[in-house]
Amino acid sequence: METVIISANRNAQHWDLVRQFLEHRKRIFVEEKGWSLSGHEGLEFDQYDVLGAATYVIVHQDGRICAGARLLRCDTRIGRGALTYSYMIRDAYMAVIDLPTQICQNPPPVDTASWEMTRVMTMDPSIPTLRTLIDAVRDFLLTEGAERLLCLGPPSLMRMGRILGYESFALGEPVSNVNGRYVAFEAKLLGELEVLA
């Protein structure tokens, strides 16, 4: 398996892998889970999938996607005028998007040392595939000077991180809506992601 980091100014020649990621997101989140999400022409994307803002971490085998995640730096501003977006966890807390505001107990950070990871998906649910993805995220974030990673996903994602040896803590209580149960959580990045002894 190989990993690639893709953004507007990084590895654009692999943009076909981002397209596959968006196709798989539609299949998993919209078709299988029944989430009411936006999309077009077989792709699932939202206001955070903006060229110049989003970074994608893709695990692939011979050009076929195995796993992926979307990253946004937490000082991101998307849009202009009365309605602007930042990142999903903060926008939920601030009641900008239709997710429970109690997702966090305290205001989420807005700085260059904090990044958010969302839309985590795997085609191969094995621990080695997920470890490859999470390790690639960690390695990339360390090169960007990140100190913390915020995640939004099912409680099982936080538990899986702990199984893989990564220490994390919830930012609020798990919440539920028509799309299921999920939790916002944080992992500190200090030289390398803090690993449980």
CB-based contacts of 92: which residues, under 8 Å, 6+ apart?
99, 100, 101, 103, 104, 152, 184
Per-residue pLDDT band at 192 (split at 50, 70, 90): very low
Q: Which domain holds residue 132?
A: 2-193
Segment 112-140, tens digit of pLDDT? 999 999 999 998 878 889 889 989 999 99
% of the chain beyond a pLDDT of 90: 59
If one counts the domains in the chain, the total is 1
Segment 72-116, tens digit of pLDDT? 999 999 998 888 999 999 999 999 998 889 999 999 999 999 999
* CATH number of 44's domain: 3.40.630.30
% of the chain beyond a pLDDT of 70: 96
Task: Say which DSSP state 31 is in.
Answer: I
Exposed/middle/buried for 127, CB within 10 Å: 0-12, 13-18, 19+? exposed
Q: Which residues pair with 105 in a beta bridge?
A: none
Q: In this predicted structure, what is the pLDDT of residue 190? A: 57
Per-residue pLDDT band at 195 (split at 50, 70, 90): very low
Q: With the C-alpha atoms ordered 110, 178, 18, 68, is the resulting torsion angle positive or negative?
A: positive
pTM here? Answer: 0.90
